[in-house]
A and B are shown apart, each in its own frame.
Chain A
Amino acid sequence: MQYLVDLVVSGIAVGAIYGLVAMGFALIYKATGLVNFAQGEMAMVIAYIAWTIAGTVPGHPWLVVGGALVAALLLGLVIERLIMRPMLGEPVFATVMVTIALAVILRSLVLLVWDPYPHALDIGVGRDVIHFGGTGVRSAQVAVMATLLATCAVMWAFFRFSRIGKAMRAVAADERTAQLMGISAARIHAVAWVGSSLIAGIAGIFFALIYDVSPNLYHVGLKAFPATILGGLDSVLGSGLSGVVLGVAENLAGGYLAPSLKEITGFAVIIAVLMVRPFGLFGEREIERV
């Protein structure tokens, strides 16, 4: 029983990270209609930047987080402005291939700039263990769960109340009509990229805190894919919560069936979900008109 509780709790924690990354996927898909295959890589780059800051100025956790988030903001802006905006209006295949290319470039740049060895991100907080009954949880794990909930709430409020959030929904529903109503689609895309880069950055920092910084960190993007599919590519909140479901599922599969199954549980879930509901569990069904 204790084993089960441990698996579920650590599953929720890792699932919260997947959920954050998955929300990044969904945010970009919702605003621009394309899947950003470089989401995990963006999280990895931000985590490395955080690690570098932590190594240069030790003892300032807020500086590390703040600096990394500013870097995330800039990364999102630069990618959108330099790489994605020139591709506006190109076929989906072309833009998606550009994000895949971006992913492999970021992956290699991390290896070229930093080194291939795993490092611990030590900012002085997050490593202490809190006990609930018999279950020990790191404070960073508690924090990531809280962050996921907070991000979900912020996202909900953003789409519901803020002017930009409403404009984003309008662009998602019909880009041309939204533009006719005076919404700048390019600016909405930029906001989506920045937002998704920030969320990815947060996820990357938490992953680095709980586990470590390594060139394999981008796997978190691959693991978050199933969450986005499960939640529906265009459902930001659904993706966030599906991340938790998948985190728990993969921990249970790894703990009870076979440790190696952990790696592919998510992918098996993708195929199963897409066979039953080709647009995800909470995604909107696209109706094609001739």
Chain B
Amino acid sequence: MRSGHYKESVPSLIVLSDSTAVWVWGGILVLAMAMAPYFLNAYLLSFLVLILITGTGALGLHVLTGCTGLISLGHVGFLLLGAYAYAVPVAKFGAPPLIGFLSAGVVPALVSIVVGVPSLRLKGLYLAITTLAFAFIISHVVLSMSWLTNGARGLPVMRPELLGIDFESDARFAHLCLVVAVATLFAVLNIQRSRVGRAFVAVRDNDIAARTMGINLQAYKLRAFMTSAFISGIAGALFGIYLSFVSVEGFPFLMSIEALAILIVGGLGSTAGVVLGTVLIVLLPEVARIALGMLGPQAEMLFSTAAHELRTVLYGLVIILFLRFEPRGLVGVWRDVKRLWVNWPLRH
């Protein structure tokens, strides 16, 4: 039995994972998800796609809120911007989808500077309120610039063709989402073990101490905003393609809450937590629907008529219950289980 977890050099400290088991299981999981589209029916496949897209978006918020500690209620604003930054050039002006994805990342990142600069002076609650205001202003601007965005009518979006590969079918589109999600996951993990990522965490843990260590708070906060907006924008574009229609209604404010719920349920500040939280939050309404269905057809009826409301209540309850009883989130539960498994019958 291994008696401890010893790190003896800097590379071993910042390596992605020193455990072969983690790499092997991670590989198996990715492989399983790559094969899944050939075995799942369309209904289950849509959940896989939703998990992958939502996970990408949650990773975007994770960089800002989880790593850097800047609470943002404006996540949905970046998702919406990303979706429109993809849809406007591709659907309206016939640009190649690759350009669309590039602009889906770059446009929110640029706009995030506009949000980020006033936010530099703000902390905690004030920042949350500013980002909330920002989300409303974005959807208003999108609605009022109807010559570009078709206003409330929205823009239809086709499945793209990238690098000569046609992503028209559901299975292909799931693969596209998988590639983006895995790439984003690695990008975020790599940011975290770089100088920039350590600076983010230092800003989160104690910004005054970070500043005395020579970290330029403003530069790093802006960088966190831009990284987060870039990732969220890509996720927004994918979500728009998934809906095959980009409109302001497709991106309700609830998405900001959903993203925060994912971070809290998974465990704030943990990348593995984002993955776990995404799976739980995306599947939660479906699990609740099945559970209610067992109570009888009447309960299931309620779910079909008031799906959005029940989903909202579920998110709210999950947030409150996790914050109350397990603030470390699913990652905390996982660590406890692991410790129990390794050390049983001893306690430590």
Q: Which of A101, A112, A266, A271 contacts B316 (CB 8 A)?
A: A101
Interface centre among B118, B134, B143, B264 (most CB of A within 10 A): B118
For chain B residues 111-148, which have a beta carbon within 8 Å of chain A? 118, 121-122, 124-126, 128-130, 132-134, 136-137, 140, 143-144
Q: Which of B268, B310, B320 contacts A101 (CB 8 A)?
A: B320
Q: Annotate B253-267 by CB proximity to A: 1 below 8 A, 0 otherwise.
A: 010010011001000
A98 within 8 A of B: yes
Q: Which of A34, A94, A264 contacts B323 (CB 8 A)?
A: A94
In whole Å, how far is B328's beta carbon from the nearest beta carbon of chain A? 11
Main secondary structure on A side of the interface with B: helix
A137 within 8 A of B: no
A98 & B133 in contact (Cβ 8 Å cutoff): no
Q: Which residue of A lies closest to B69 (CB)?
A: A93
B136 & A263 in contact (Cβ 8 Å cutoff): yes
A264 & B136 in contact (Cβ 8 Å cutoff): yes
Q: Which of B137, B144, B306, B315 contacts A111 (CB 8 A)?
A: B306
B324 & A86 in contact (Cβ 8 Å cutoff): yes
User: Chain A contacts of B122 at CB under 8 A?
Assistant: 274, 278
User: Which of the 9-residue segments A102-110, A155-163, A181-189, A195-203 touches chain B?
Assistant: A102-110
User: Chain B contacts of A271 at CB under 8 A?
Assistant: 118, 130, 133-134, 137
B67 within 8 A of A: no
B320 & A290 in contact (Cβ 8 Å cutoff): no
In whole Å, how far is B115's beta carbon from the nearest beta carbon of chain A? 9
User: Chain B contacts of A225 at CB under 8 A?
Assistant: 129, 132-133
B312 & A274 in contact (Cβ 8 Å cutoff): no
User: Chain B contacts of A103 at CB under 8 A?
Assistant: 316
User: Chain A contacts of B35 at CB under 8 A?
Assistant: none
A104 & B130 in contact (Cβ 8 Å cutoff): no
B319 within 8 A of A: yes
B309 within 8 A of A: yes
CA distance A107 to B312 in the complex (A): 9
B208 & A290 in contact (Cβ 8 Å cutoff): yes
B126 & A111 in contact (Cβ 8 Å cutoff): no
Give the contact-size bracket for chain B: 35 or more
User: Chain B contacts of A268 at CB under 8 A?
Assistant: 133, 137
User: Chain B contacts of A101 at CB under 8 A?
Assistant: 257, 261, 315-317, 319-320, 323
Q: Which residue of B lies closest to A288 (CB)?
A: B208
CA distance A133 to B282 in the complex (A): 59
For chain A residues 237-290, which have a beta carbon within 8 Å of chain B? 258, 260, 263-264, 266-268, 270-271, 274-275, 278-279, 288, 290
A229 & B129 in contact (Cβ 8 Å cutoff): yes
Q: Annotate A95-137 by CB proximity to B: 1 below 8 A, 0 otherwise.
A: 0111011111101110110000000000000000000000000
B140 & A264 in contact (Cβ 8 Å cutoff): yes
User: Chain B contacts of A150 at CB under 8 A?
Assistant: none
B313 within 8 A of A: yes
Q: Which of B128, B130, B136 contacts A222 (CB 8 A)?
A: B136
In whole Å, how far is B286's beta carbon from the nearest beta carbon of chain A? 18
CA distance A247 to B135 in the complex (A): 21
Q: Which of A94, A96, A111, A288 contacts B309 (CB 8 A)?
A: A111
User: Chain A contacts of B254 at CB under 8 A?
Assistant: 104
Q: Annotate B26-46 by CB proximity to A: 1 below 8 A, 0 otherwise.
A: 000000000000000000000
A233 within 8 A of B: yes
User: Chain A contacts of B208 at CB under 8 A?
Assistant: 288, 290
User: Chain B contacts of A108 at CB under 8 A?
Assistant: 308-310, 312-313, 316
In whole Å, how far is B301's beta carbon from the nearest beta carbon of chain A? 13
Give the contact-size bracket for chain A: 35 or more
CA distance A290 to B206 in the complex (A): 10
For chain A residues 62-114, which have a beta carbon within 8 Å of chain B? 83, 86-87, 90, 92-94, 96-98, 100-105, 107-109, 111-112
Q: Which residue of A lies closest to B119 (CB)?
A: A274
User: Chain B contacts of A266 at CB under 8 A?
Assistant: 133
User: Chain B contacts of A96 at CB under 8 A?
Assistant: 71, 125, 128
B96 within 8 A of A: no
CA distance A84 to B103 in the complex (A): 43
User: Chain B contacts of A98 at CB under 8 A?
Assistant: 319-320, 323-324
B293 within 8 A of A: no
A35 within 8 A of B: yes
Q: Annotate B79-123 by CB proximity to A: 1 below 8 A, 0 otherwise.
A: 000000000000000000000000000000000000000100110
User: Chain A contacts of B324 at CB under 8 A?
Assistant: 86-87, 98
B124 & A274 in contact (Cβ 8 Å cutoff): no
In whole Å, how far is B263's beta carbon from the nearest beta carbon of chain A? 9
User: Chain B contacts of A258 at CB under 8 A?
Assistant: 144
A112 & B126 in contact (Cβ 8 Å cutoff): no
B130 & A100 in contact (Cβ 8 Å cutoff): no
Instruction: Supply 18 A–B pairs (Cβ within 8 Å), ascending by A.
Output: A35-B128, A87-B323, A94-B323, A97-B323, A98-B323, A100-B319, A104-B257, A104-B312, A105-B316, A112-B309, A112-B313, A226-B133, A258-B144, A266-B133, A267-B134, A267-B136, A271-B133, A278-B121
Instruction: Give chain A's interface residues, CB within 8 Å of chain B.
Output: 34-35, 83, 86-87, 90, 92-94, 96-98, 100-105, 107-109, 111-112, 222, 225-226, 229, 233, 258, 260, 263-264, 266-268, 270-271, 274-275, 278-279, 288, 290
Seed contacts A229-B126, A274-B118; 12 additional CB < 8 Å A-B pairs: A87-B324, A92-B124, A92-B125, A93-B71, A97-B319, A101-B323, A111-B309, A225-B132, A226-B133, A270-B129, A270-B133, A288-B208
